[in-house]
Amino acid sequence: MNHQGQTAPVLTIDGPSGSGKGSISKCVAEKLGWHYLDSGALYRALGIAAIKEGVDVANEDALAALIQDIELEFKRSDLGHWAVFLNGEEVQDQLQTEAVGNTASKIAVFPKVRSGLLAKQRTFQIAPGLVADGRDMGSVVFPNAKFKVYLTASAEERGKRRYKQLIEKGINANLSSVIQDIQERDERDKNRSESPLVIPEGATYIDSSSSEIDEVVLTVLDLLENTKKL
């Protein structure tokens, strides 16, 4: 049951940057007909808001106050795809740069930022179900989720995937600095005191270093079916 008394099932998919969580979570959500929460997008959008509003990204109280002032929504854009809107403006294209990812990871260390975004994340638990993608979905946001996955891959493989995505989007990138950024972000995400990236209790560990997305999607769907039978 969630915090509004709802019982919609939740599948949490946690893991480090570039593990394929985003693509796999979206695909699994689509196949199940469930909702999808991209929790990283909330941290990224807050980072964009801070930069736009000139809020110091090292000032925890100012960031917590900013959360109260902004409106963050996930809805369909005019082109029909799901997108993040900040104060009514679509910011989806701005979310994916490495600079925004790094800002998100810096502000995500602050307890007041994490607690400020917690209630928003829990509102996504609605019927017929939710696939929640992030770092602390199974450990903090939805600790009672029925289905939990921890998805990872080697830092080098994750760096190569991220590099390919950036190049395909026409964003200039350098492979060794992308791998270095990923390693720095891993360190920050795993070593922060508040909601660090951990393998949640009860999660199934999947290493996707040598698997295609489709294979991992099938593994996750099988896991769901098998868990339902328990």
Question: Which residue from 13, 27, 44, 129 is in contact with ligand C5P, where contact means CB under 6 A?
Answer: 44
Candidates 12, 19, 25, 39; binder of ligand C5P (CB under 6 A) is 39
Using rule CB under 6 A, residue 186 touches ligand C5P: no
From candidates 135, 148, 158, 161, binder to ligand C5P by CB under 6 A = 135
Nearest by Cα to 65 from 116, 118, 104, 100 = 116
Least Å from the CB of residue 229 to ligand C5P:
29
- Pairwise CA distance, residues 33 & 47, whole Å: 30
For residue 74, the minimal CB distance to ligand C5P (Å) is: 13
The residue from 105, 125, 139, 208 that contacts ligand C5P (CB under 6 A) is 105
Residue that has been written with the tokens 């328990």 in this structure = 230
**Peptide bond connecting 111 to the previous residue in cis, omega within 30 degrees of 0:** no
Does residue 17 touch ligand C5P according to CB under 6 A? yes
**Residue selected from 27, 83, 104, 153 as contacting ligand C5P according to rule CB under 6 A:** 104
Residue 91 structure tokens: 């910011």
Angle, nearest 10°, between helix axes 155-168 and 175-191?
Answer: 120
H-type alpha helices, 79-197:
92-95, 98-107, 111-122, 155-168, 175-191
Report if residue 136 touches ligand C5P, rule: CB under 6 A. yes
Closer by beta carbon to ligand C5P, 136 or else 157: 136
Residue labelled with tokens 């809020």 = 55
Q: Which stretch binds ligand C5P (CB under 6 A): 24-32, 103-111, 154-162, 217-225?
A: 103-111
Minimum CB–partner distance for residue 101 and ligand C5P (Å) = 5
Cβ at position 178, least distance to ligand C5P in Å: 13
In whole angstroms, give the CA distance from residue 219 to residue 210.
14
Minimum distance from CB of 40 to ligand C5P (Å)?
Answer: 2
What is the rounded CA–CA span in Å between residue 162 and residue 21? 12
Instruction: Please answer whether residues 167 and 33 qualify as being in contact, where contact means their C-beta atoms are separated by less than 8 angstroms.
Output: no
For ligand C5P, which is the closer residue by CB, 141 or 222?
A: 141
Q: What is the C-alpha to C-alpha distance for residues 145 and 224, in angstroms, rounded to an integer? A: 12
Q: Sheet containing 89-90: which strands, arranged edge to edge?
A: 72-76, 82-86, 89-90
- Which residue number has the CB closest to ligand C5P? 40
Residue numbers at the binding site for ligand C5P (CB under 6 A): 17, 39-40, 43-44, 101, 104-105, 108, 134-136, 185, 189
